[in-house]
Structure 1
Amino acid sequence: MKSTVVLRTVSNVLKVFLALVVVFPILWMIVTALKPSTEVVTWPPTFLPRHWHWGNLAEVERAGPFLRWYFNSVLIAAITVAGNLVFGVPAAFAFARLKFRGRNLLFLVVLGSLMIPGEVLLIPLFVFLNKLGWVDTYQALTVPFLANGFVIFLLRQFFETIPRELEEAAVIDGCGLLRIMWHVVVPLSRPALAVSAFFVFIGSWNSYLYPLIVTRSESMRTVTVGLSLFKSESGTNWPLLMSAATLIALPAMIAFLLIERHLKDTMALSGVRG
């Protein structure tokens, strides 16, 4: 009995320690965003600001068209998420429920696409987009990412866990495949859809290298690319940089809090069968 209590105590202490290790950089970023420039470089460093400088958050927009970059990132992420759900749900439903020749081979191709590093595709994709005249446009930032193999795989695995008896009952009621997918499968898969949307949103929101390559004008930048504005030959304005980073991290943290309760269950159920 005592050994169980000791193990549980040690486990809880380790969990708290790991949580602090993860959370501390985020807290440091936030408090640095609220410090004056002179206080950031003082030694020894202080965790909490001696003088809270809330104006740093407002000065971010004065350093560059930050609101424009923020709008670009939100728009690109929204289009990418919507596209992945529009294309991913029917594809996953077909792989999970329909029987057709070459289904398993085609699904292996989808899985194989996950093993190709994105950096390998940058140059050929840029050349292709340049021939289309899409460089420095919203099409270049969204169209190549409207479908994602991971979303198809995750949803297909989740659809496999839905009892087929529900679909058979819908067939008896006269439902076709599209109505079964829309009125039976999709409502039962809202947690998986939320988790899929979260992963796509994070991937789009945090993307840096690709937007840097396919955009040229300042008005088409995303927030991750725009962060480079806060670094110059005279040095880095750390309070403004951390203020911008805090504003960028805020949507990702909110999105995680919204889907956190679905994340564990969805990932567990999606790995049950397949």
Structure 2
Amino acid sequence: MTATHTPPETVHLPQAQRPPSEPPGRRRFKLPFSAWHLALAPLALLFALPLLWLALSSVMSNAEINRFPPALWPSGIHLDGYRYVLGNAMFPRWFLNSVIVSVVAVASNLVFGALGGYAFARMRFAGSRAMLALMLATMAIPFQLTMIPTFLVMKQLGLIDTLGALIVPSLVTPFAVFLLRQFFLSLPRELEEAAWIDGCSRLRVLYLIVLPLARPALSTVAVLTFLTTWNDLTWPLIAINHDTNYTLQLGLTTFQGRHHTQWSAVMAGNVITVLPVLIAFLFAQKSFIRSITSTGLKG
């Protein structure tokens, strides 16, 4: 008796479930980068054009800058503007004053901002929420309303026309306290509770456990405080009278007014002013983005 083998049944897939057939020899083209870069690259170039023009103008001669129509590319590298700024002006002194004020402001905001932010995030005491709301309300007050009272306070302290008048109002800002508080709220309490069981005090927990985890937020506070202090012009213009205590922004403004014909020197001074800001942001941009994405707005 011969066994008959029945052929397996053919499975028919619906038309919608069949894999699409590609013509032979045809490959799908895939970009090596995101398609958004096609729109963001021209936009970034548009924003970079003033900075590029500033750098090119700083190495031009005065004749090329004053020519009409203006030259788009320098005929050669002329460093007369940089020599004039660094040799004949008080730019080195103004640069040092800006560095001192900015570094002290950044360090004090990191210390006091971390202490205040941790207290508001982890400690509950009478009036803590009211104090936090009052502190945040001060962020909505424009500087034009507080500059006269601040000036009177600095005058009573004898700090007018000194670098102390620029440092003391910037020792701690509500934004630094608020940003660090928000980051501390995102950290799990279990890490701190384990340290408390081992006998650590609150300050020791903050220094050994919390702050190493808060490096992105600390970097963000440092960069934003540095940018604000370094670029400040209004308050130094009010509080400083003698040119030896000028910051770089204030000195550059007076330098531009006195030497309006030396455009190469003015452009060179602007390049020196912008360069530390760019370097600070490039070094901290990853931490800055990580802090913004992880902090959130948890109340």
Short-chain TM bin: over 0.9
1:154 is aligned to 179
1:213 is aligned to 238
SS in 2 for 1:47: coil
Deviation of the 1:61 alpha carbon? 2.2
- Deviations 1:135-193 (CA, angstroms, capped at 9, x unpaired): 10121110111010000010000011111111111112111111111100001101110
Summarize the Cα distance change of 1:177–1:44 in structure 2 as closer, same or farther, 3 Å threshold: same
Counterparts of 2:272 and 2:259 in 1: how far apart (Å)? 24
Query: Is the 8 Å Cα contact of residues 64 and 229 (structure 1) preserved in structure 2?
Result: no
Query: Is the 8 Å Cα contact of residues 33 and 240 (structure 1) preserved in structure 2?
Result: yes
Query: Is the 8 Å Cα contact of residues 81 and 266 (structure 2) preserved in structure 1?
Result: no
Give the partner amino acid of 2:288.
Answer: L
Give the partner amino acid of 1:156.
Answer: R
1:39 is aligned to 64
Within-5 A mapping of 1:69-80: 69-80=94-105
Deviation of the 1:86 alpha carbon? 1.5
Is residue 287 of structure 2 the alignment partner of residue 262 of structure 1? yes
Counterparts of 1:131 and 1:169 in 2: how far apart (Å)? 48
Query: Is the 8 Å Cα contact of residues 236 and 247 (structure 2) preserved in structure 1?
Result: yes
TM-score of the two chains, using structure 2 as the length reference: 0.86
1:55 is aligned to 80
Summarize the Cα distance change of 1:233–1:64 in structure 2 as closer, same or farther, 3 Å threshold: closer
Counterparts of 1:155 and 1:232 in 2: how far apart (Å)? 41
Summarize the Cα distance change of 1:232–1:117 in structure 2 as closer, same or farther, 3 Å threshold: closer
Counterparts of 1:232 and 1:136 in 2: how far apart (Å)? 21
Deviation of the 1:62 alpha carbon? 3.1
Counterparts of 1:235 and 1:55 in 2: how far apart (Å)? 15
Query: Is the 8 Å Cα contact of residues 95 and 248 (structure 2) preserved in structure 1?
Result: yes
Counterparts of 1:235 and 1:255 in 2: how far apart (Å)? 30
Query: Is the 8 Å Cα contact of residues 88 and 147 (structure 1) preserved in structure 2?
Result: yes
SS in 2 for 1:231: helix
- Aligned-residue Cα RMSD (Å) equals 1.7
Counterparts of 1:234 and 1:192 in 2: how far apart (Å)? 42
Counterparts of 2:96 and 2:234 in 1: how far apart (Å)? 19
Counterparts of 1:143 and 1:156 in 2: how far apart (Å)? 22
Summarize the Cα distance change of 1:233–1:262 in structure 2 as closer, same or farther, 3 Å threshold: closer
1:225 is aligned to 250
TM-score of the two chains, using structure 1 as the length reference: 0.93
Counterparts of 1:266 and 1:240 in 2: how far apart (Å)? 38
Query: Is the 8 Å Cα contact of residues 230 and 240 (structure 1) preserved in structure 2?
Result: no
Query: Is the 8 Å Cα contact of residues 180 and 217 (structure 2) preserved in structure 1?
Result: yes
Give the partner amino acid of 1:211.
Answer: P
Deviation of the 1:127 alpha carbon? 1.9
Aligned length: 269
Counterparts of 2:260 and 2:221 in 1: how far apart (Å)? 40
Give identity over the alignment, percent: 36
